[in-house]
Amino acid sequence: MNHEIESIGQPLDRVDGRLKVTGGARYSADIPVAHVAYGVIITSSIAKGRVVQMDTAEATALPGVLAVLTPFNAPRLAKGSIEAQSAQQAQPTGGGQQSGPPNRKIHLLQEADVFYNGQPIGLAIADTLERAMDAASRVRIRYQEETPTLQMKYELTHAYKPQGMGGRPTPPDSRQGDIDLGWRSAAARVEATYVTPAETHNALEPHGTLAIWEGDHLTLYDATQGIFTVRKRIADLFELPPDNVRILSYFIGGGFGSKGPVWSHVGLAAMGARQVGRPVKLVLTRRQMFGNVGFRGETNQRVRLGARQDGALTLVKHDGIVQTSAYDEFVEPVGANTKMLYACPQIATSHRAVRINSGTPSYTRAPGEASGTFALECAMDELAYRLNMDPVEFRLRNYADTDPENGKPWSSKSLKECYRLGAEKFGWSARSLQPRSLRDGDELVGYGMATAAYPTRRSPASARARMLPDGTAVVQCGTQDIGTGTYTVMTQLAAETLGLPPQRVRCELGDTDLPEGPHSGGSQTAASAGSAVYLACQELRTKLTMMAINDANSPLHGVPASEIRVERSGLYTEGNRGESYAALLRRQGTPEVEARADAKPGEEQQKYSMYAFGAHFSEVRVDPDLGRLRLARHLAVFAAGRILNIKTARNQFMGGVVWGISMALFEETQMDPRNGRIVNADLAEYLVPVHADVPKIEIGFVEEHDPFVNPIGVKGIGEIGIVGAPAAIANAVYHATGRRVRELPITLDKLL
């Protein structure tokens, strides 16, 4: 099919960009509603125990205070208690095409037990935010306190085998081959432990919900990565038909996994609005975003690698112990990439969990892959040194031509080209193998690299496409744009499929009244929603073509469909015979033409292993006297199927790399070991990179055609950018200094 305008792949500016930079984009907490009240969550100040009493007399006597809800007076919800939610955990969230992320246990004031410091234990509602904050501060709380468990490093011996990983019933252990034989037959070995701290998402937009009841119908404006996930969960908690719950989320200011599950504040906003009989807006404070809405849990990972003298791996063993909460279970699947990244006859992974009096860890950009690949790729670097072998060459000698985990062929794999192109662009050949061998003036210079991989996922999705009388198109899908550019790439898909300029396509997302779309997690939105939009537009194109062929007054009357192409906002033959969509609909007298399509994974899931791949290369500079470390440059090359928009794709990859820099050098959520309070719960003390910390980042692309992954040939790119980046930096630090830092973040005290 020929097109006058090719949209897919072009660096189209974000279609919502003007709204965002002019303040016209309204986020969930920005929606204007008459007579809105404000909710403020009251949180616990102990890490373990029970609330014995909450004296609300002073708070409720304040002017404008509408209610103060506590475990002792909150409305009862049949499925709101921790015990009732526990029974739901193994079940999908119910209804619809796909369940989204598994439910987390949340705190809806149904019991007085306290599991962590900062847990929601009350809700103050008033006619202004200031009055609600004042009321929350005046509630007097008495506890029956117990001794909490707060530091994972002292509890490793109490690790237990979890039910699953990543919130799903995935087996926590895997094994193939003779592990003991693999260790004994190795000529070179590495056995080391790698530690990553707890890390908090800290999206710029805090979590916020606006709840509006109209009889037994509930509308929520919510900052969420899954509008249908929220609808299913809230309908279940409040025992409503799903059709009675509408979720809207037009713009999200970052989520990174934290806005995936439904957390306590969403249910509390709905509960509070029903209690006071007016809309309630509830926005978390920055401090409340630490613990209440998930985080990347601490990990302790023991990696054992063995190889023959020629570099062929004989053993890969990866045992992870991870943090979970005292009342729920989420296990970071740190061994996910270990099972598939390198060819080896003996591979084993295991996952164990330690219960801590903290909030429940949850999905954080590339959960499992980000922290697990740090350990694996640092161990691979260590073993390359033991073999006196270049790290890139060592990886090439263990290149997996099929998936080691299941033996399936790859749907496509261009990792070798990522290594080659990355090494060439970075100047890797100038690197000497010996640590501390490169200097620039007084600074030690180090080069490091690591591999990136992330699975290509896809969920069922539906979409609708409509051609309007003026020849413009509207495409609709009930997914959401979490800041990644979904509005833009869906517009481009529709524009090219229909032969329209992008300016003549409007994309509508973020509303459960639209055809059901996927949860935006696991880097699956473009593959899932994009496939549905593409198929809906194909169906619309077919309808319009047949309409023209069967219209005696159309220039295309009787022309074979195979000779008609879409271009110039209409239907034309190669000989320029045809008409615009607007002319066709005007003559037909029809208000619009509509088509709908459903897209879902098929047999390809069983036939192929599907991943995006990449390679990171980092250069660091270290002052040997002061231990001061700075990243001088970073280059990453990715092969991720068809790129829908080169500009937004580069933006996503760079964002992942920046977070990888943050993970390697800055981030650490610090808990007071005396009381479980997060001590750096703000952006003044929770360190993330600023502009001066981020050097030039170069992103390279390997063109890749994958005919198997989905109808549009795309692979998710939202998360792969962070995978491997911390390891490349850590490996560069070793090359510069000769000091192997196995515990993140890499701070100057670890280099002195």
Both tokens assigned to 367: 């959960």
| DSSP 3-state percent helix, strand, coil across the chain (nearest 5) | 25, 25, 45
3-state secondary structure of 60: helix
**How far is residue 149 from each of residues 282, 321, 726, measured CA to CA in Å?**
30, 16, 29
DSSP 3-state of 313: strand
The torsion defined by the Cα of 540, 544, 546 and 552, in degrees rounded to 10, comes to 170
**Nearest C-alpha neighbor of 377 from the set 751, 734, 638, 701:** 734
- Residue 273 to residue 284: CA distance in whole angstroms: 16
Cβ-based neighbours of 582, under 8 Å, separated by 6 or more: 469, 470, 471, 569, 570
Give the Cβ contact number of residue 256 at 10 Å: 26
For the record, the structure tokens of 523 come out as 């880097």
Q: Return the beta strands (E) in 8-118 as ranges.
A: 37-43, 49-55, 65-69, 113-114
- Strand intervals (E) in 86-205: 113-114, 120-126, 140-145, 174-176, 188-196
668 is known as an active-site residue: no
Pure H helices in 480-524: 486-498
Say how far apart CA 27 and CA 8 lie, in whole Å: 28
Long-range contacts of 400-403 (CB under 8 A, 24+ apart): 400/340, 400/341, 400/342, 400/343, 401/343, 402/609, 403/340, 403/609
Phi, psi of 15 (to 5 degrees): -70, -20
Q: What region, left, alpha or beta, does residue 38 occupy, with left being phi > 0 and alpha being psi -120 to 50 degrees?
A: beta
Alpha carbon distance, N-terminus to C-terminus of the chain: 62
Helix H or strand E segment including 506:
strand 505-508
407 Rama sector, left if φ>0, alpha if ψ -120 to 50, beta otherwise: left
Half-sphere exposure in the Cβ direction for 65 (13 Å, CA): 23
Q: Are 269 and 29 in contact (CB under 8 A)?
A: no
Torsion angle, alpha carbons of 150, 156, 158, 159, to 10: 110
Amino acid (1-letter code) at residue 33? V
Question: Which candidate in 199, 382, 668, 719 is catalytic?
Answer: 719
Residues marked active site are found at: 719
